[in-house]
Chain A
Amino acid sequence: MTGPAISVNALRYSYGDLEAVKGISFDVVPGEILGFLGPNGAGKSTTIKVLTGQLPPGGGGASVLGIDVSTDNPEMQARIGVCFEEKNLYLNMSAKENLEFFASLYGIKDPDAIGVLRRVGLADRANDRVKTFSKGMRQRMMISRAFINHPDVLFLDEPTDGLDPGTAAAIRTTIQEEAARGAAVLLTTHDMYEADQLSDRVAFINNGEIVELDTPENLKLRYGTRAAKVRLRDGDLVREETLPLDGGAGSARLAELVASPDLLTMHTEEATLEHIFIQLTGRGLGG
């Protein structure tokens, strides 16, 4: 298809008097990973619920694969994959049975359940009941379920939340593979490291509004400051200095210290997405 796979225009949604999404707009093109970053309660999950047809838009509009999400069109659902934050799997069924059941809802007659499980490292547990799986294995199951219909659009809600680094890295690799295949990925997370690693672009969402949307590099350039942190001997003490790398006095002082025998260590400092988020919203991503 040409054009964006996800197109959101002034989308609104309210829970009673509480306005959870306040007129946000963005696009995601095929093959792109858009990181949707914000703290809990920022409106990330509500946006995904509207885009996947779980909630009707309260205002504005949105389309997925060119289909208006307010029309409750099964053709749209047939081409999307969703990984929920909660592990809503059938625990008394095996991993293979879970995938085969969901594949049947998409009309897939002979799904390659084992192949999909192999991608997330669960092929050897295909016939075990999901209730015997660890948290990380269940999360990998969630990811594999989202892939079972080879979706054109993937909605991933906190896909690595609470996982050990090894499992999280494996899941990130799989997400990148899906994007490389051509799937548009909307990834919500409050893990800035993950967003930085995976996302082609990131959208900062706070209190239902998108406060910034750009590539991680552009955001860092726009809001970050390049600096070097040095530790040097000062008599019997050790002292730290932070020196801006934007030319001028900072660069001259750095050159002086490099030649000095008192220099102990030197590290460059980059602006992180978290720092930029705090700078933009005045709040962190933790809560």
Chain B
Amino acid sequence: MNRRVSRAAIISSIVRKDFTEFSRDQLYVFLSIIGLVFFALTYYLVPDTVDETITLGVHQTGMDALVGQFQSGAATTEGLDLVALDTADHLAAAVAGDLAVYRTSTGDIVVVGAGAEPQAPKGAEKLDLTIGIAFPDRFLRSTAAGEQPTVTVYTDAAVAPEIRSAMASFVREIAYSITGDQLPVSQPAQGTAILGPDRAGDQASLRDKLRPMLAFFVLMIETFALSSLIASEVMNRTVTAVLVTPARVGDFLAAKTIYGTILTSAQALILLLALRTLTTGNWSTLLATVLLGAVMFTGIAMITGSAGKDFIGTLFYNMLFILPLMIPAFSVLFPGTAAGWVKAMPSYPIIDTLNKVTTYGAGWSEVADSLGVALAWVVVFYVCGLLVLRRKVRTL
């Protein structure tokens, strides 16, 4: 009996078989569904509001009028809450977390743990002091006399460098306002370049920042399902049975690519839809980014699925790849903080593009560079995955 069967028909058969197998694996189906639900719930549970107020502890003597001006004036509207403490030691201890600071309903500041105040006052609001500025006693007089007194800025280790820098500027502003000199800060002649819509006063909330991270996590998680399927084909030698039929190694690899890309990208798109992130304005850029991510993780799954000798082995190799690749995903929670080595990670351009598109509404032109770098990494991982899996299949 002589029959002809097209390559497309063979690939389609293998892909359908892969989806059947996936649907029968209760563990991975459960993890996929739970993952989507968990990520969506996480997204909707985190606050959609932005608290941009910085609580700043201040110790000063003889500067009440000046501090009051900052407290009640423009500084307050820009999110600065000044809290005056009696001594520099209290200020340092409060920032270090050794003392607790409360504001009563009448506006008085109570330092607990210091001397006669062992208990928190009832109904008082606890203040989180992570930054404090201690002005020396003769600050005004010295500054006015043209001297350079030392002002100490206390910061918690978790405070971002940008905030520390802003505090130093704040002190300088006070100093210059006393001496009447111009601020040595120049504004750019042209307007500041802002990516996407200007979100001044409408900063990205934690919920906004989670979107790219969650979408990326969904892409990543499906690596486990795909690598497990590949490992199972290799370990049980079912691939050998496939390859003594008219199916070729290329058909097998193409089928795994299609299956992995569809499985992964579909779930990421479902999540983006559930997060109400996929819109008529950004669907094409998001789709392209998600597809690139899906192919990248398909390549990784081909490598890990070929390398693992059993379930634990495959899991180990998956973790070896996935843990480092997760790091850039967290950088979106702290804008502007990604270190150089994080930006060099293969997953960074994908997470960066997802972030720019979902959080800042960037278009094709604004993400072209990141997508280009992402494409290069995708090619590297995918080609490596193909070569490793092809070699594995041929040497069974």
Minimum CB–CB distance for A181 against chain B, Å: 11
Whether the pair A106, B5 counts as a contact (CB closer than 8 A) is yes
A237-265 interface bits toward B, Cβ cutoff 8 Å, 1 = contact, 0 = none: 00000000000000000000000000000
**Contact among B24, B244, B245, B247 for A93, CB-based, below 8 A:** B24
Whether the pair A88, B3 counts as a contact (CB closer than 8 A) is no
A90 to B6, CA, bound (A): 23
Q: Which residue of B lies closest to A75 (CB)?
A: B2
Whether the pair A80, B244 counts as a contact (CB closer than 8 A) is yes
Tell me which of B13-21, B51-59, B81-89, B299-307 binds A: B13-21
Whether the pair A105, B237 counts as a contact (CB closer than 8 A) is no
Whether the pair A88, B241 counts as a contact (CB closer than 8 A) is yes
Whether the pair A90, B237 counts as a contact (CB closer than 8 A) is no
A86 to B396, CA, bound (A): 12
**Contact among B13, B236, B240 for A105, CB-based, below 8 A:** B13
A107 to B9, CA, bound (A): 8
Minimum CB–CB distance for B391 against chain A, Å: 14
Chain A-chain B contacts (Cβ-Cβ < 8 Å), number: 85
Minimum CB–CB distance for A50 against chain B, Å: 12
Q: Which residue of B lies closest to A83 (CB)?
A: B241
Whether the pair B13, A101 counts as a contact (CB closer than 8 A) is yes
**Contact among B2, B240, B242 for A79, CB-based, below 8 A:** B2
A145 within 8 A of B: yes
Question: Size class of B's contact patch?
Answer: 20 to 34
Complex interface: chain B residues within 8 A of A108 (CB): 3
B238 within 8 A of A: yes
Whether the pair A79, B241 counts as a contact (CB closer than 8 A) is no
Complex interface: chain B residues within 8 A of A88 (CB): 236-238, 240-241
A129 to B21, CA, bound (A): 11
**Contact among B13, B236, B242, B244 for A91, CB-based, below 8 A:** B236
Q: Which residue of A lies closest to B6 (CB)?
A: A107
Complex interface: chain B residues within 8 A of A102 (CB): 241, 245
Whether the pair B24, A86 counts as a contact (CB closer than 8 A) is no
Minimum CB–CB distance for B137 against chain A, Å: 78
Q: Which residue of A lies closest to B243 (CB)?
A: A54
B4 within 8 A of A: yes
Minimum CB–CB distance for A13 against chain B, Å: 14
Complex interface: chain A residues within 8 A of B172 (CB): none
B327-338 interface bits toward A, Cβ cutoff 8 Å, 1 = contact, 0 = none: 000000000000
Complex interface: chain A residues within 8 A of B6 (CB): 107
A80-107 interface bits toward B, Cβ cutoff 8 Å, 1 = contact, 0 = none: 1010101011111100010001101111
A90 to B1, CA, bound (A): 26
**Contact among A53, A77, A92 for B24, CB-based, below 8 A:** A92
What are 7 of the A-B contact pairs (CB < 8 Å)?
A54-B243, A78-B3, A97-B20, A102-B241, A105-B13, A105-B14, A105-B245
Binding site for B on A (CB under 8 A): 52-54, 72, 74-75, 77-80, 82, 84, 86, 88-93, 97, 101-102, 104-108, 129, 145, 149-150, 152
